[in-house]
Amino acid sequence: MHEWRDLRDEYLCELLRLEGAADADLVRCPSCNQAEATFRCKQCFGGQMYCGDCTVKMHTKNPLHIIDEWNGEMFSRTSLQELGLRIWLCHDDCVAPAVVENFVSLDIAYIHEISVVFCGCERRHGTERRTALLRKQWYPATHHTPRTAATFNFLNFFIIQTHQAKTTMYDFYTATARSTCGTGKKLSNRYPEFLHMARQWRHLQLLKRGGRGHDPSGVNGTKPGALAIECPACSRPDVNLLEGWENASAEDRFLYLLFIALDACFRLKRRLVSSELRDPGLGTGWAYFVEQEPYRDWITSADAGKQMSTCSGLAALDYANTKFSRGYSTTGVGMGVCARHEFVQPTGMGDLQKGERYSNMDWIFSTMMRWKHPRLPKAISYDIICQWFKMLFERLLKMPAVVRFTIVTVLYRFVIPKMHIHSHTLACQLVFSLNFLLGAGQTDGEGIERPWANLGGVATSTREMGPGSRRDTLDSHLSYWNWSKLITIADLLRRRLDKARIEQREREEAFTAFCTEQGSVSRIGA
């Protein structure tokens, strides 16, 4: 950086040079050598200037590039539409082309007004306007006579921005508009259309990645939880376990132990706006959220009595009845993840209406565990497990048949995360400690806190959404979370294995030294 400071004048001059005609001192167009070269594309490599006709010909395959015109003193913004470019979306022998002027296209960094030619004759070969746009990788804002579209690149870029950087739709669209024109000139407002396209695009990506386009039953044949990305490392019979695993001895049963962590987050609220009728989810229950209708029916009919705590060191249950519910339709969410690898479980998230009530968490737990093999040993981690598991078996028997399952007590262990357990009484610490669970290793049970930290960035935007939009948005973010875990889990497991081998040697050496010292002491005493 110290060396670059002396080069600032040089860099600045080069930037100013590009504001002018630079090396384009040719009067004639270098392509046709006839007309005057006054147009320059801001996105084509090289910055060479051409005449208007040649510029149009060179951009038939790149119709969304930005064009500047040289007026003898400076460059001013023009467009390929003003130069006469029309984007042809109909078949070559169309006898009745239908021109749509001022068609708006959303692309990365720019909003364009273009001229599009659709097919208007009877020989459309079954191609609707929306289909013609999709085949050119443009997503239509409506399926009825679209006049706005977004490029697939634009939508994909938004998705990665919102997933990774938690950029809101408003900020992303506003940034694109400012990039198009930074002078404050009012552009065609397509923000409402963008909201619809982004939501549909998110949903379609879930369906595509879930294999629904290859299933004969199609989209409507999607089963609950089918679009969720599952953990490849947790025990899954018929997937990653050898035959005969269920016959393992009691000493080896811990090898198949499935760790599930439960928790609630009160940042992911939703205000009392819109309704299920006005804003239904596109695929609620197909990925990470529970199925909405049976869940709502259960919450409405379940006992909402006050949750009492007998753990004097536990303050979490104080929020179980009064967690800022005034003015909110949803006060937070409950969720389950695999505690070792932090994958959000299929149908493992549900809305909370008033604090962390048992009826909500019972349903989330049940609808999540119904997909697990009944003979797998399981360890359930929850920061208020000492209270929640009381009468749990009896409460599960009252659950509707769609989610009801029976807990085999010998296969279940209940534990408290290692950090949270210090808030509990000594009795809880002795009974629910992970340190006393065979096969727990270094599992801390706190892994569920990490998805909360990741999702916190979307809380301000999902708070103002309708119920369906919010669930679709969170499903998309959770899918990205699980995918990020999936592509890094091999490195994670290798690091853990390498660390375990090093620590194993250290412990063996320490144990050997201890035994040697004990033997020496015994001989001296004798």
- 470 and 270 Cβ atoms separated by less than 8 Å: yes
Q: No. of H helices and E strands in the chain?
A: 15, 16
Are residues 273 and 385 both part of a single domain? yes
Residue 409 has a CB neighbour count (10 Å cut-off) of 8
Radius of gyration of the chain measured on its C-alpha atoms? 31
* Number of structural domains found in the chain: 3
Residue 234 lies in a domain: no
Q: Of 55, 78, 101, which residue is a domain's last?
A: 78
pLDDT for position 450: 93
Residue with tokens 């005449």: 51
What phi and psi, each to the nearest 5 degrees, are found at residue 115?
A: -110, 125
pTM of the predicted model over 0.75: yes
Residue 246 lies in a domain: no
Residues contacting 230, CB < 8 A, separation 6+: 236, 343, 346, 482
> Which residue range(s) make up the domain with 187?
87-219
Residue 229 lies in a domain: no
Are residues 145 and 44 both part of a single domain? no
The per-residue pLDDT of the chain, averaged, comes to 90
What phi and psi, each to the nearest 5 degrees, are found at residue 32?
A: -100, -20
Are residues 207 and 318 both part of a single domain? no
Distance between CA atoms of 526 and 522, rounded to whole angstroms?
A: 6
Amino acid at 69: E
Distance between CA atoms of 95 and 101, rounded to whole angstroms?
A: 19
Residue 300 lies in a domain: yes
Are residues 111 and 46 both part of a single domain? no
pLDDT for position 317: 58
- 87 and 114 Cβ atoms separated by less than 8 Å: yes
Are residues 169 and 201 both part of a single domain? yes
**Each residue of 365-398: pLDDT tens digit?**
999 998 899 999 999 999 999 999 988 988 998 8
Residues of the chain below pLDDT 70:
23-26, 122-126, 304-308, 312-325, 520-526
Residue with tokens 């006049």: 147
pLDDT for position 485: 97
Q: Which two tokens stand for residue 301?
A: 């009919």
pLDDT for position 463: 94
Q: Of 45, 78, 111, which residue is a domain's last?
A: 78
